[in-house]
Chain A
Amino acid sequence: EDQVTQSPEALRLQEGESSSLNCSYTVSGLRGLFWYRQDPGKGPEFLFTLYSAGEEKEKERLKATLTKKESFLHITAPKPEDSATYLCAVQATGGFKTIFGAGTRLFVKA
């Protein structure tokens, strides 16, 4: 069964304190692993797609990496505006069903 587990559930950082969010996954055949950002009261917003182990993507202070079993979202020198829930999701080959993790709530204090 396809499954996504995110850790930690919540993460509190000081502004400038770099850290990483973890996404562990099992999937029959990976088409893509996705990272989304969700602000309170809004729908998830797409950040990255990773397709194969070893791939990395960057956007501003965020960097996503992928192995055969895990993905990490590294946040470098975070700012308060990076506070949000970050969702990880996987999509298996052969269809477009997407399995989401429960998310990591990130709080960045000034």
Chain B
Amino acid sequence: DAGITQSPRYKITETGRQVTLMCHQTWSHSYMFWYRQDLGHGLRLIYYSAAADITDKGEVPDGYVVSRSKTENFPLTLESATRSQTSVYFCATIADTHYEQYFGPGTRLTVT
């Protein structure tokens, strides 16, 4: 029972390339979130989704695109990667009857 998984775990890409980070959950929780974590900034919300086909912007959405066609998957796409998007990305869910979040293991993305 993996809970929430992310892939890839590590990714190096070049400036201008499109990159998609995957997030999969086995719980069927309604809400899913994408965060980036940078030194000195903590976790910042990029996008979140309340259900399949319902998404909304967070604090730092520019340069990112999300989709959610199925409840269990929530991919994050960087349409044209920039060096400022070098970061560690975390996916998370919230259990429908509680408010705490459950996080995936993270994807470390480096844009060269």
Contacts and interface: CB of A to CB of B under 8 A. Distances in A.
A17 B48 CA distance: 40
B42 A101 contact: yes
Interface residues of B, number: 24
Interface of A is mostly: strand
B105 interface: yes
Interface string A29-70: 001101000000111111001000000000000000000000
A46 B42 contact: no
A98 interface: yes
Given A96-B94, A97-B48, A97-B58, A46 B100 contact: yes
A100 interface: yes
A32 B99 CA distance: 8
B31 A45 contact: no
Interface of A: 31-32, 34, 41-46, 49, 87, 89, 91, 96-98, 100-103
Interface of B: 31, 33, 35, 40-45, 48, 50, 58, 90, 92, 94, 98-106
